[in-house]
Amino acid sequence: VDPKYYNIQSCLAQTPPELFDLFCQIRDLSETLHVEPYLVGGFVRDLLLKRPNKDLDLVIEGDGIEFARKLHQVLGGKLDVHPNFGTATLDLNGFHLDVATARVEYYEYPAALPQVKPGRLKQDLYRRDFTINTLVISLSKEKFGWLIDFFGGNEDLKKGIIRGLHSFTFIDDPTRILRGIKFAVRFGFTIEEETDLLIRQAVEHGVIKELKGPRFWEELKSLLMEGKELKTLQYLDDYGILREIAPDFKLTDQQWKNLKRIDWVIQLFKDQCIVQRWLLVLMVIFANLSKETIERIANDWNLSLKDRAQLNFIHEEVYRVKEKLSEGKLRPSQIYNLLESLGSEELMYLVLISDSQLILDQVLEFYNRLRRIDVEVSGKDIINLGFSPGPLFKEVISKVKEAKLNGKVKSREEELEFIKEYLKERKGGQSEF
Ligand code: CTP
């Protein structure tokens, strides 16, 4: 089938001037080097959707690396070359440009890394995930600003459809299942019927279970970072993906309820911190899995220590704190000590799972007031009272802090008074410090 062509020069002309300049530089250089330059992928998709995107993918029919080197000479920026892959990246004021040589990739076996062979543009596009990501804009002198559509991506983009390119797409690369969901939730698009079926078949085939290494986790994170967790988790649940990650991974009614209250809880804390919403979602959905299961998943996905910590989030600690807080009648310093080591998302999670006004009040009291309280005296003041630095200083300062949290001292003067009294009493009880 011949590709369809659409003139979208006016669309290009509406891009910010520095971007349009870059397109012109690419056009001029390609003429000098006798190569064909094409913008491809997510950037083209987003341009047509009028969504800003600073990651540009450029495919060169010709030598991509040489092209990137010459462009670097003209424009400066930071260049990285990957000769084995025939690619280079160029960071230019605010834009990130990936330059590739038109090529064909094939997979030796499912879930393997692709092998690279030289090839042409259409084949290069055919190895991609969805039709909406196969659109191309020519930047050559003769065809500058023409959209080339080999696989019907333009129509799919207009109709709001996520359509895979071929029947092995999810077997070749199961992380594409998550990417499909990501685009569907991000743009509010529908996953086309045949593609939907291919996803179900791939999942049933066990591709999720076979995945080793961190790519699935990276895609999962990126999917949750879209911030549309309800829709996302409905997809994951419906496709049976959670079950494939772990057989007992099933969201309970309570977990769905908690997910629906995330907006509410973030609202309570907003203005005071940048919330990593996706972390909160992660805490909710992994809450019912056992430590062993989480450990097994973390090993399968070969997670870094940081990622492990995010997945292995300290549910036990939060439940222990919840118990203590629900007893009520705690002094402010006790509330402070219980909550001090929890991060913002953990505090929010605590509120989310508690469904209790008493706990909410205490957490907000900590978050809005107690955590900001600091003592005004320092070790110097204790030295001035005639003591030499030692373990005693820490003890004294923490006692002052406790008194301040509990409202027993309010100013620097009162803190000094408190210290004097405390040291006097302590001295009374002990022969020496
Ligand atoms: N791609 C693919 N299969 C993957 C990952 C990427 O086929 N598992 C292809 C897609 O066609 C995509 C291109 O590689 O357009 C570039 O990938 P990436 O930069 O991750 O994708 P974007 O589409 O730009 O996604 P995002 O907007 O989330 O960055």
Residue nearest to atom 8 of ligand 1 (CA): 176
173 lines ligand 1 (CB under 6 A): yes
Helix runs in 239-289, H state only = 241-245, 253-260, 262-269, 277-286
What lies within 8 Å, CB to CB, of 54 at 6+ separation is 94, 95, 96
What is the CB-side half-sphere exposure of residue 140 using CA atoms within 13 A?
A: 17
Q: How confident is the model at residue 174 (pLDDT cuts 50, 70, 90)?
A: very high
- In short, whether 41's Cβ falls inside 6 Å of ligand 1 is yes
CA 10, CA 6: separation in Å to the nearest integer? Answer: 11
pLDDT of residue 6: 96
Cα distance between residue 239 and residue 204, in whole Å: 9
DSSP-derived 3-state class of residue 148: strand
- Determine if ligand 1 sits within 6 Å of the CB of residue 129: yes
How do the domains of the chain map onto residue ranges? 4-159, 169-311, 379-429
Question: Does 77 sit in the ligand 1 pocket, CB within 6 Å?
Answer: no
Ligand 1 mean position to 19 CA, how many Å? Answer: 21
Superfamily the domain 169-311 falls into? cca-adding enzyme, domain 2 (1.10.3090.10)
Q: Is the pLDDT of residue 118 over 50?
A: no
pLDDT band at 316 (very low <50, low <70, confident <90, very high): confident
Residue count of the chain:
433
- 346 pocket-lining for ligand 1 (C-beta < 6 Å): no
Question: In this structure, which residue's CA is closest to atom 15 in ligand 1?
Answer: 41
Q: What is the pLDDT of residues 93-107, one digit of tens each?
A: 889 999 998 864 555
Please give the distance, rounded to the nearest whole angstrom, from the Cα atom of residue 165 to the centre of ligand 1: 13
pLDDT for 314: 67
Q: Do domains 4-159 and 169-311 have the same CATH topology?
A: no
Q: Which residue carries 């990276």 as its tokens?
A: 218
User: What's the pLDDT score for residue 105?
Assistant: 53
CA distance linking residue 30 with residue 59, whole number of Å? 12
Strands 161-162 and 190-191: parallel
Arithmetic mean of pLDDT, 29-54 = 95
Q: What is the pLDDT of residues 53-63, one digit of tens each?
A: 999 999 998 89
Pocket test for ligand 1, best of 98, 122, 133 (most atoms within 8 A of CB): 133
Strand partners, 106: 115
What's the whole-model pTM score?
Answer: 0.86
**369 alpha carbon – ligand 1 mean position (Å):** 45
**Which of 110-114, 287-291, 366-370, 390-394 has the weakest average pLDDT?**
110-114
Residue 284 has pLDDT above 90, yes or no: yes
The tokens for 365 are 């009291």
Q: Which CATH class is domain 4-159?
A: alpha beta
Judge contact between 420 and 428, C-beta under 8 A. Answer: no
Closest residue by Cα to residue 90 from 65, 124, 53: 65
Distance CA 204, CA 210 (A): 12
pLDDT of 431 above 70: no
* 231 φ, ψ (degrees, to nearest 5): -60, -45
Distance (angstroms) between ligand 1 centre and the Cα of 41 equals 7
pLDDT at 310: 75
CA of 130, closest atom in ligand 1: 11
Ligand 1 neighbourhood includes 404 CB (under 6 angstroms): no
Q: Looking at ligand 1, which residue's alpha carbon is closest to its atom 14?
A: 128
Return the number of other C-beta atoms located less than 10 Å from residue 267's C-beta. 9
Helix H or strand E encompassing 395: helix 391-405
Q: Which residue's CA is the closest to the ligand 1 atom numbered 24? A: 42
pLDDT over 80 (residue 315): no
Q: For position 318, what pLDDT does the model report?
A: 86
Ligand 1 atom with the smallest distance to the CA of 134 is 11
* 42 pocket-lining for ligand 1 (C-beta < 6 Å): yes
Structural tokens at position 333: 């310093």
128 CB under 6 A from ligand 1? Answer: yes
CA of 129 relative to ligand 1 center, distance in Å = 8
Angle between helix 253-260 and 262-269 (nearest 10): 40
**pLDDT for the residue numbered 93:** 81
